[in-house]
Structure 1
Amino acid sequence: MLRPAADADMDAVLAWRNHPDVRAVSLTRHVIAPEEHEAWWSSTKDRDDREVLVYERHGVPSGVVTFFDLDREAGSSWWGYYLDNDGLTERGELLPAWIEIQRQAVRFAWDELGLAELHGEVLDDNAAVRRFNKRNGFEEIETDEREIDGERVVVHHVRATTPRETQ
């Protein structure tokens, strides 16, 4: 289940984002300080061009989905997500949660936000996510090289379009 993030979720979202496995596949890899996170949280929650949702698995907060650069009029947005890797691993639910959060987020984009296009970015060496994206209708439409923490990395811009025939 996806639900709007609440202030009570702020600390958990920061802990999930700072997990080494999440940072390793992110476009920013530094440990985010509580002050930096609080500033982001405060500036994000009331913006019309953002949606921050908490993913709950069996009633337990287990991840976050962020839609940003959300343009409801144009029907497009960028997005990203990450999970509570430690908690889900302890419960033996990391893989099914990873599958479920993406599927729920994409459905939310189409059904709740009414989007026609959903954009994201994935690192070239994140092969599992690249394969999963393709299985879920995302295509790699552009590739570029960026510097992340002093390292040159290849980043793929991915896009999915709504399966609706009424576009």
Structure 2
Amino acid sequence: MQSDADHDALVAWLMQQHGLSRDQAEGAAHAPLPEGYGRLGVTATTRILAALEAHVIPYSAAVATCGWHHSDERTGEVLDALPYYGQILDRHVIPGSYDEADDDVTRYGRIINPTVHIGLNQLRRLVNRIIHVYGKPDEIVVELARGDCQVADRGF
């Protein structure tokens, strides 16, 4: 999933480099790829796969051996409230329409699992209410239980 800025840059590039009209560029930017296409090109995929085959390591470590970070897109921006999760977790949701006129779920997409979708939205509402009533906390600790395993996530 693209950010609005990435989408706008892609449309501008398609218009400038390939002479497409705005409607054509928008259509190309929204075109779904056939089954079997991914986010990474052949070069990156080949390097990451080689690292995974060479060692029994997690994907994140394989990406790090290539000199990249698998998910660190933090900007340092501090928000006044948590936005809809699909806007932040864009690589983990079913892509949306990217249309600004649509509601957040339609625009940014959603996680398929309805329990997770509802849970993330409820968590966002709770955190935003806490921020509204008490101000921004220094830390939020979320503990989740799944079966007999507990996970503690420090920092939001």
Normalised TM-score (structure 2)? 0.23
Name the one with the larger helix percent: 2
Name which structure has the greater RCO, CA cutoff 8 Å, separation 6+. 1
Normalised TM-score (structure 1)? 0.22
Return the index of the structure with the highest Cα Rg.
2
